[in-house]
Amino acid sequence: MGDDNECVVIDAPHDVDAIVAAVGGRKLLAIVCTHGHDDHVRVAPELSRRTGAPVLLHDDDLPVWRLTHPEVEPDGSLSDGQQLEVAGTTLRVIHTPGHAPGACCLYAPDLGVLFSGDTLFAGGPGATGRSFSDFPAIIESIQRLFATLPAGTVVHTGHGDSTTLAAEQPQLQEWVDRGH
Ligand SMILES: [Zn+2]
């Protein structure tokens, strides 16, 4: 996300040329990783080498990151409540463990937008069947999003359709009962 002058990239999954083209002539301030899974960080180090932008990841996801990148570490950490200034607006880091221990959502209050990574999708929580995942933790994280952010917040998810918090909140109990 960004404007004509500067931007941040949220997750760098596979096609580094496409990301570099999307950044274009703008200054890339940071490569923000919502979590350390391969399909979110695969080309992050290469993008960093090509642009000079730092890779940021929550420390709790370093064990996950190392499964993909055993030889290179992120350049910096993300922490709950941290604010990233980009293009005249603020992205607030919300630590939302569950899908992965260091999973984070990025909330832009001025835009009313949440980038949810793999924590919340249209129709359900992110998967918690992988190693390092934790179902009760993801439910607690999603409850915290519902409790603290405006219901009209638009959610851009890590895979698939966008949604809103208001559209998802009524289904929470079903997800808890279903247990995954
Ligand atoms: Zn994931």
pLDDT tens-digit series, residues 137-162: 999 999 999 999 999 999 999 999 99
Identify the three-state secondary structure at position 63. helix
pLDDT in tens, 89-129: 999 999 999 999 999 999 999 999 999 999 999 999 999 99
Q: What are the residues whose beta carbon lies below 5 Å from ligand 1 (ion)?
A: 37, 118
CA of 37 from ligand 1 middle (Å) equals: 5
For residue 39, the CA-to-ligand 1 centroid distance in Å is 7
Output the pLDDT for position 81.
98
| C-alpha 40 to ligand 1 mean position (Å) | 7
Dist. CA 56 → ligand 1 center (Å): 16
pLDDT at 30: 98
Cα(137) to centroid of ligand 1, in Å? 15
pTM: 0.96
- Which of 99, 66, 61, 63 is CA-nearest to residue 78? 61
Q: What's the order of all strands across the beta sheet hosting 6-10?
A: 6-10, 27-32, 55-58, 76-78
Q: How far is the CA of 173 from the centre of ligand 1 (A)?
A: 23
pLDDT attached to residue 12: 97
Q: 91 - beta bridge partners? A: 84
Distance 51 CA to ligand 1 centre (A): 24
pLDDT of residue 47: 98
Condensed to tens digits (0 to 9), the pLDDT of residues 46-103 reads: 999 999 999 999 999 999 999 999 999 999 999 999 999 999 999 999 999 999 999 9
pLDDT computed for residue 180 by the predictor: 79
> Is residue 28 within 8 Å of residue 8, measured between CB atoms?
yes
| Residue found under tokens 């931007």 | 7
Residue 25 alpha carbon to ligand 1 centre in Å: 30
| Dist. CA 89 → ligand 1 center (Å) | 26
When pLDDT is averaged across residues 19-43 and rounded to a whole number, the result is 97
Q: Specify the length of the chain in residues.
A: 180
